[in-house]
Amino acid sequence: MGKPTGFIDYLRELPLDRSAQERIKDWQEFHLHLDEAKLREQGARCMDCGIPFCHSGNLLSGMASGCPINNLIPEWNDLVYRGLWREALDRLHKTNNFPEFTGRVCPAPCEGSCVLGLNNPPVTIKNIESSIADRGWDEGWITVEAPAIRTGKKVAVVGSGPAGLSAAAQLNKAGHVVTVFERADRVGGLLMYGIPNMKLDKSLVQRRVDLLSKEGVTFLTNTEVGKHYPSQRLLKEFDAVVLCTGATKPRDLPIEGRDLRGIHFAMEFLQANTKSLLDGRAGSDFISAEGRDVVIIGGGDTGTDCVGTSMRHGCNSLLQVEILPKPPLDRAKDNPWPEWPKVYKMDYGQEEAAAKFGADPRIYLTTAKGFESDDQGRVKAIRLVQIEWKKNEKGQFFPQEMPGTERVHNTQLVLLAMGFLGPDQALLEQLGVERDARSNAKADHGSYGTNLQGVFAAGDARRGQSLVVWAFNEGRGAARECDRYLMGSTNLP
């Protein structure tokens, strides 16, 4: 550690964001940047804590604690403090194939478990990570590194989201011939179409995809395995298969009026919006929130992205409905460090809604009872009711409606952002892959092998809906075990 008193000398400092009123007028990334001197000061705050929980990557109380891909955070923080940016990038790439992505969209469980965070604001790990990656691209340090030797083994990766891309990158690095199948018209999966452009600029995704292509990875877009490409042909033509199809089956809300027009799953809304931006708005088909009273049901990152997108469309009003209680301002006693801090915060979307409409758009302990129709079969209102959480005879919590709290709220666009139930089942059924009780591909964490020899599963398709960074972890892990299966041993981390 270069500066033993750095965590005492310097306060936590993040770059400013573009003002909310300004940024909702465009689709550009909203984060600004710190200069090098400030970044080095922030790196100096990393305190040589002896046991760096920040890169532990454990699950505590069902949530990530520390970095799931085990980034060597104290090491590259110190290198940044000392001005050794190239060395910091090399250290970052040892564990992370795509730091420019995680530095933007990861919720940073590393910061939640930072030892400094016990009694001070934690180190700005996420911002330093993205700054290292961006400098690597700007300086030309990130270049094509094709493998010197090819093994002759052919591997198919199904899905080009976070897990698929990291698996492909690692398998290609091992010298295998990798083909990635993507059913959409662009590569990237969630990174391309699930996360809005203002949060992750699509040119950054395409830049990394182009690099992987130059390194030897083949991408086949508009190719859905089991539909455009026979699933059994996949097993015959490749020596191994890695399934990284994600958890794309959305959780529905089967209440009165669900079939009315104007009620959509969040991903329908987000994917069509990004595609229309990339294709050009003229003549494009997307769901617009312009001039509408929008209701978003569900919180989390997907709900926030629906808020931010609706704000940029120019919605008339916005309400976000959450069934859980409002989090406390500080950690509760049953949520100790180094668990992920379940505390109240306003993400970028809520900040934008508050700037335009005057308040956080979220209401808590509320659920939907039904939708009302206009005379053309479109949704015109939603019936809401407050709830309280009770325990049943088995000690399980359940929501109970509070009498006299039902109200009607006008809306012409409802977005369901209540999470995902698992992967699409068609391909798994065609291949004969066993499923677990939650309909995910059955494969143990660490080995990633399914019941079919040479077929592996990783990411949300195996573990269910989770963080992007867990998908990167699993893609790398599945690549390692796939390499071991093909070659008898592996040098992949």
Do both 399 and 286 map to the same domain? yes
- In this prediction, residue 155 carries a pLDDT of 98
Q: Do 16 and 117 sit in the same domain of this protein?
A: yes
Assigned domain for 309 exists: yes
Give me the CATH number covering residue 95.
1.10.1060.10
Residue span of the structural domain in which 368 resides = 252-418
Residue 282 pLDDT level (bands cut at 50, 70, 90):
low
Q: Indicate if the pLDDT at residue 1 is higher than 80.
A: no
- The answer to whether residue 239 scores a pLDDT higher than 80 is yes
Same domain, 109 and 17: yes
pLDDT computed for residue 47 by the predictor: 87
432 and 345 housed in the same domain: no
Do 189 and 244 have their domain in common? yes
One domain for residues 403 and 438: no
Domain boundary among 138, 168, 191: 138
Number of domains in the chain: 3
Same domain, 185 and 108: no
Which of 367, 400, 418 is a domain's end point? Answer: 418
Domain of residue 183, CATH code? 3.50.50.60
Q: What is the pTM of this model?
A: 0.95
Based on the domain organization, do 131 and 47 belong to the same domain? yes
Q: How does pLDDT run across 90-142, given as a tens digit for each residue?
A: 999 999 999 999 999 999 999 999 999 998 999 999 999 999 999 999 999 99
Above 90 in pLDDT, residue 284?
A: no
% pLDDT > 90, the chain: 94
What average pLDDT does this structure show over 61-69?
Answer: 92
Looking at residues 321-338, what average pLDDT do you find? 95
Residue 164 is assigned to a structural domain of this protein:
yes
Smallest CA-to-CA distance from 430 within 252, 281, 247, 230 is with 230
Is the confidence at residue 19, as pLDDT, over 90?
A: yes
Q: In the predicted model, is pLDDT for residue 281 greater than 80? A: no
In-domain check, residue 492: no
Q: What is the pLDDT of residues 161-200, one digit of tens each?
A: 999 999 999 999 999 999 999 999 999 999 999 999 999 9
Using the 3D structure, point to which of 391, 418, 445 is the last residue of a domain: 418
Statement to judge: residues 257 and 380 lie in one domain = yes
457 found inside a domain: yes
Query: Does residue 377 form part of some domain?
Result: yes
Whether residue 144 is contained in a domain is answered as: no
| Whole-number pLDDT of residue 283 | 60
Q: Do 359 and 375 share a domain, yes or no?
A: yes
The predicted pLDDT at position 48 comes to 82
pLDDT over threshold 70, residue 262: yes
Mean pLDDT of 287-307: 96
Residue range 383-397: mean pLDDT, rounded: 94
Long-range CB contacts for residues 128-131, cutoff 8 Å, separation at least 24: 128/39, 128/42, 128/43, 128/76, 128/77, 128/80, 129/71, 129/76, 129/92, 129/96, 129/99, 129/102, 129/103, 130/99, 130/100, 130/103, 130/104, 131/33, 131/34, 131/39, 131/80, 131/103
**182 inside domain:** yes
Evaluate if residue 241 carries a pLDDT over 70: yes
What pLDDT sits at residue 3? 85
145 occurs within a structural domain:
no
* Mean pLDDT along residues 62-86: 95
Please write the tens of the pLDDT for every residue from 79-95: 999 999 999 999 999 99
Instruction: State pLDDT tens for residues 411-438.
Output: 999 999 999 999 999 999 999 999 999 9
What distance in Å separates the CA atoms of residue 108 and residue 65, rounded to the nearest whole number? 9
Do 430 and 394 share a structural domain?
Answer: no
Question: Is residue 227 located within the same domain as residue 304?
Answer: no
